[in-house]
């Protein structure tokens, strides 16, 4: 049952990822990427990472992709469907080679998932406790990074007088 | 129970799709989205390893990766908008100001 759900989600994720890089129109690419993120959120749930599944939907599929969609529509890229690279096939071959290069180490892993009883559930309670005790310094740094990014984005798009 | 190698296989495939996107597309926004795809593939493998070893550290790292990704998207899209205002295109082949 779990395997069947995994396969459905994986096929959805991979096929919409392929749509992302093959579509001519950026709007369709953004929508396909949203569907990839939703499928990945489902897979996080299968891995007992409930908090991250929620964050994946809220931050990635919600905030980040809306930002992408805004920019795509703001730029109004009509007639911007560039002549794509004729050497595209090289990129495809490189990608396949990449998959094969990484396949061998993956299927040699003998350790499997620990049984569910030995795994702390990745819910907001457990993650929050770790975040505000062991990881409180990186957490504060992350807030500074977000502040700097906000200021940086405003400075970049500001009109220069 | 789904074996670990299947999760990692999915992660590898998503990462490779992202690599191919960066290598073959010319639209800066789509290249950016391919980078997001690669970040997500890495997040998936981090969560898988976290589950494999039975502790939460991998999931916390994913939390920070997501924070940095959000910051990166804000700044990156601002840069793309600034370039579009100046050059009226987001074709990466025409962004050659810093080409030696």
What are the 10-residue block averages of pLDDT along chain B, 100 residues in total?
Answer: 85 91 86 93 92 88 92 91 84 79
- Give residue-wise pLDDT tens across range A15-24: 999 999 888 8
* Residues on chain B touching A74 (C-beta within 8 angstroms): 81
Structure token digits, residue B16: 């490779």
- Give residue-wise pLDDT tens across range A82-131: 555 566 778 788 888 888 888 888 777 776 767 777 778 888 898 999 89
Q: Using a CB–CB cutoff of 8 Å, tell me whether B73 touches chain A.
A: yes
* Nearest 10 degrees: Cα torsion A58, A59, A63, A64: -140
Handedness of CA B39, B40, B41, B47 (dihedral sign): positive
Among the partner residues B8, B9, B16, nearest to A95 by beta-carbon distance: B16
pLDDT band at A135 (very low <50, low <70, confident <90, very high): very high
For residue A115, give the DSSP letter. Answer: P
**Inter-residue long-range contacts of A78-81, CB under 8 Å, 24+ positions, other chains counted:** A80/B27, A80/B89, A80/B90, A80/B91, A81/A24, A81/A25
- What CATH number belongs to B4-94? 1.10.287.3510
Among the partner residues A17, A44, A152, nearest to B37 by beta-carbon distance: A17
Does A79 score more than 80 pLDDT?
A: no
Q: What pLDDT sits at residue A84? A: 56
Residues in chain B: 100
Give kind and range of the element (H or E) at residue A34.
helix A26-46
Among the partner residues B24, B74, B89, nearest to A150 by beta-carbon distance: B74
Give kind and range of the element (H or E) at residue A140.
helix A136-157
Q: Using a CB–CB cutoff of 8 Å, tell me whether B61 touches chain A.
A: no
Structure token digits, residue B62: 């994913």
**Which of A5, A113, A123, A135 best tests the B interface by mutation, with the highest count of B CBs <10 A?**
A113
A33 contacts B91? CB cut-off 8 A: no
Among the partner residues A43, A122, A131, nearest to B44 by beta-carbon distance: A43
Shortest CA distance to B24 belongs to which of A5, A54, A137, A29?
A: A29
Interface predicted TM-score (ipTM): 0.91
Q: What pLDDT sits at residue A83? A: 55
Residue spans per domain, chain B: 4-94
* Residues on chain A touching B47 (C-beta within 8 angstroms): 44, 47, 49, 52, 122
Does A80 score more than 60 pLDDT?
A: no
Q: With beta carbons less than 8 A apart as the criterion, state whether B10 and B47 touch.
A: no
B33 contacts A30? CB cut-off 8 A: yes
* Residues on chain B touching A159 (C-beta within 8 angstroms): none
**Which of B28, B42, B78, B93 best tests the A interface by mutation, with the highest count of A CBs <10 A?**
B78
Give the separation between CA A23 and CA A75, rounded to whole angstroms: 18
Q: Which residues have CB under 8 Å from A103's CB, separation 6+? A: B9, B12
Does A12 score more than 60 pLDDT?
A: yes
- Give residue-wise pLDDT tens across range A28-75: 999 999 999 999 999 999 988 999 999 999 998 888 999 999 888 888
């Amino acid at each position: 049952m779990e395997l069947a759900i995994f396969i459905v989600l994986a096929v959805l994720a991979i096929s919409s990822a392929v749509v992302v890089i093959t579509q001519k129109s950026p709007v369709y690419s953004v929508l396909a990427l949203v569907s990839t993120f939703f499928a990945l959120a489902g897979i996080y749930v299968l891995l007992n990472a409930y908090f991250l599944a929620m964050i994946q939907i809220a931050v990635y599929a919600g905030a980040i992709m809306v930002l992408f969609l805004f920019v795509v529509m703001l730029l109004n890229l009509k007639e911007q469907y560039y002549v794509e690279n004729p050497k595209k096939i090289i990129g495809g071959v490189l990608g396949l080679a990449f998959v094969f290069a990484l396949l061998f180490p993956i299927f040699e892993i003998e350790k499997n998932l620990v049984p569910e009883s030995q795994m702390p559930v990745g819910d907001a309670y457990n993650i929050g406790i770790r975040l505000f005790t062991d990881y409180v310094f990186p957490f504060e740094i992350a807030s500074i990074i977000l502040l700097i990014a906000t200021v940086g984005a405003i400075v970049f798009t500001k009109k220069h007088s | 129970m789904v074996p670990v190698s299947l999760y990692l296989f999915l992660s590898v495939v998503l990462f490779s799709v992202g690599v191919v996107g960066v290598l073959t597309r010319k639209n800066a926004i789509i290249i950016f989205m391919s980078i997001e795809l690669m970040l997500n593939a890495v997040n998936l493998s981090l969560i898988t390893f976290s589950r494999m070893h039975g502790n939460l550290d991998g999931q916390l790292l994913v939390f920070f990766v997501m924070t940095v990704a959000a910051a990166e998207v804000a700044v990156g899209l601002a840069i793309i908008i600034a370039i579009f205002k100046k050059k009226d295109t987001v074709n990466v082949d025409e962004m050659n100001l810093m080409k030696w």
